[in-house]
Amino acid sequence: MAGSGNSALHVVELTGDSRQRGLQHGRQLRDSIQAAVDFYRHFFKEHLGLTAEGMARRASAFVEPTAQLNPLLMEEYEGIAEGSGQRLEDILALTGRYEITFEQVALGDCSNLFVGPGRSQDGHTLLGQSWDWRPEVMGFRAVLISRCDDQPDHVMVTECGQPGKYGFNQDGLGVVSAGLRCREKAATGRQLFTVLGRTILAQTGFDAACEVLEENAPLATVNVLVADDQGRAADFEATAGGICRHDLGRDEVYWHTNHCRHVLEPNHFENSRVRGLRWERLAAEQGPVEPETVQTWLADRSDGGNSISQHADPDKAHTASWLQTLCAIAMDLNRRQLWVSDGPASLSSYLKIGLN
């Protein structure tokens, strides 16, 4: 495992079929998963008035949709629960924490980036992700390197107890995502958006990956960006009006924060607007883009409290929307590699992780 102390970024290699990998995940990260369950029980009680049993009941609604969409992933969830000694509902609540929170609290977190092969130094497809969420989650983050018997191998950055958030697979597919602040707090479907992300990386081709989103709407209002190593990419905005697909060009540098860019929705989220303007300036820079360029952009602090690399503001510690960058992630889909920072990239170096 990489890192040290209570804020270690765990790096875990998992092997075998879905249930076996889940068991390994649960056993190796048992203490950190307990910390995650304890934190969200406290968070949901303090900010949503939701008891532990209420949280479990709410999470139980995600069992059937997940099992129907991705039976192998449900086997992985069951393995994580068994391996960690937790109830299945408590493990699903970790994945569904965004959707559960968003029912009452309008959040906005994360930003992501696509660099087409026509703009990159080596003609590769690059992705970037600023993962922004509660500072307490620094204590239970993980990188999962999954070498699978029953689906494509993949690498994902996530919270302990969750099978994956952002990453890529052995076939050169990558996925990143960000919350969307819209007039309505829910989109049109029943799926957890991180379950959709894992299901995308269970595919072997770009068209099949996009069909996952086109045919299975998320519950949350979110933005999901899907790309492959051939330079194909599409951005999906899921809102109460449905799913909007926007295809991206090979010569494009494209960013997304927490307001809609293609669906007509008001943007009253100042932090997202300012970060978007900064991404716009960075994307307009001349010259080829390298993975190191993306890493530097993700470390940007030019706009202080509204920067791409977000630092925790102690004045907001009592609020539900207290945020910081937990990890910055740069991916090269052709090399099957990612670089991940342990905390805000403006304060941390990058660790390189790959499948090869």
Which strand (E) or helix (H) includes residue 89? Answer: helix 88-95
* 223-270 confidence digits (pLDDT tens): 999 999 999 999 999 999 999 999 999 999 999 999 999 999 988 899
In which region does residue 242 sit, left (phi positive, over 0), alpha (psi from -120 to 50) or beta (all else)? left
Distance from CA of residue 119 to its chain's centroid? 24
Distance from CA of residue 176 to its chain's centroid? 6
Residue among 230, 249, 255, 248 at smallest CA distance from 113: 255
* 9-18 confidence digits (pLDDT tens): 999 999 999 9
Mean pLDDT within 207-235: 97
Identify the DSSP state of 241: T
Dist. CA 66–CA 249, nearest whole Å: 32
**SS3 (DSSP) at 36:** helix
Taken in order 53, 55, 57, 59, the sign of the CA dihedral is: negative
Tokens of 18: 């879905």
* 119-166 confidence digits (pLDDT tens): 999 999 999 999 999 999 999 999 999 999 999 999 999 999 999 999
Identify the DSSP state of 212: H
Residue 42 has pLDDT above 90, yes or no: yes
Instruction: Identify the band that residue 3 occupies on the pLDDT scale cut at 50, 70 and 90.
Output: very low
Residue 108 has pLDDT above 70, yes or no: no
Please tell me whether the overall predicted TM-score, pTM, comes out greater than 0.85 for this model. Answer: yes
Check if the beta carbon of residue 102 is closer than 8 Å to that of residue 179: yes
Residue 26, CA atoms < 13 Å, CB-side half-sphere: 24
Amino acid at 116: G
Instruction: Identify the band that residue 104 occupies on the pLDDT scale cut at 50, 70 and 90.
Output: confident
Backbone φ and ψ of 255, nearest 5°: -125, 160
Dist. CA 146–CA 19, nearest whole Å: 12
* 165-180 confidence digits (pLDDT tens): 999 999 999 999 999 9
**Arithmetic mean of pLDDT over the chain:** 94
